Amino acid sequence: MHKIIIISLGSLVLSKPDKKINTATRIIQEEYRQWLVNLLKDKYTVLVTGRPAQYTEATIWSIAEKSQWKPDEFYFNSWGMPPRALKNRILHEYVFPQHGMKPENFLCIDNDHDCRVLYRGYGFMAIDYSAPNLLELINA
């Protein structure tokens, strides 16, 4: 049974606004995959994103306001690290000390192939949000 779902912001974002605009404007324009949010609403969810930490409050407010949901834990990029290295650091500094490392306790949903490879290296089930068995895995 998967008790903890680790999800990337990229998996939640439906619309990806133009990268040329600043992040604050992008947050305002972001839309979220409501069907995915609905699947997560009664699950323990950890959001892990490469978005700079200065946008934590605005991003979490946007998600909550637009989807009526908020992840149980959320970690943003305080170190300017690339996604895979960042997610590895967050696992070691926050997730593992609090939740342990048992692979059966985690389901990771990430749109970045390299990050899915990282999670699989720990024995975790790691999938893209478009995986055909997503519903089954979330409800396992």
Per DSSP, the residues of 108-125 read: EE-S-HHHHHHHHHTT-E
pLDDT tens-digit profile of 76-88? 999 999 999 999 9
With H, G, I as helix, E, B as strand and everything else as coil, classify residue 33.
coil
CB 107 within 8 A of CB 124: yes
Domain count, the chain: 1
90-133, pLDDT tens digit by residue? 999 999 999 999 999 999 999 999 999 999 999 999 999 999 99
Token representation of residue 116: 């899915």
User: What letters, b where the CB count within 10 A reaches 16 and e where it falls short, cover 61-96?
Assistant: ebbeeebebebebbbbbeeeeebbebbbbbbeeebe
Q: Predicted confidence band at 2 (pLDDT cuts at 50, 70, 90)? A: low
Give residue 119's domain range: 4-138
Alpha helices in the chain (DSSP H): 9-12, 23-29, 34-40, 56-67, 83-90, 96-99, 113-121, 134-138
pLDDT beyond 60 at 1: no
pLDDT tens sequence across 15-34:
776 778 899 999 999 999 99
User: For residue 77, how many C-alpha atoms fall within 13 Å in the half-sphere facing its CB?
Assistant: 14
The DSSP secondary-structure symbol of 45 reads E
pLDDT at position 17 is 67
Q: What is the CATH number of the domain that holds 20?
A: 3.40.50.1000
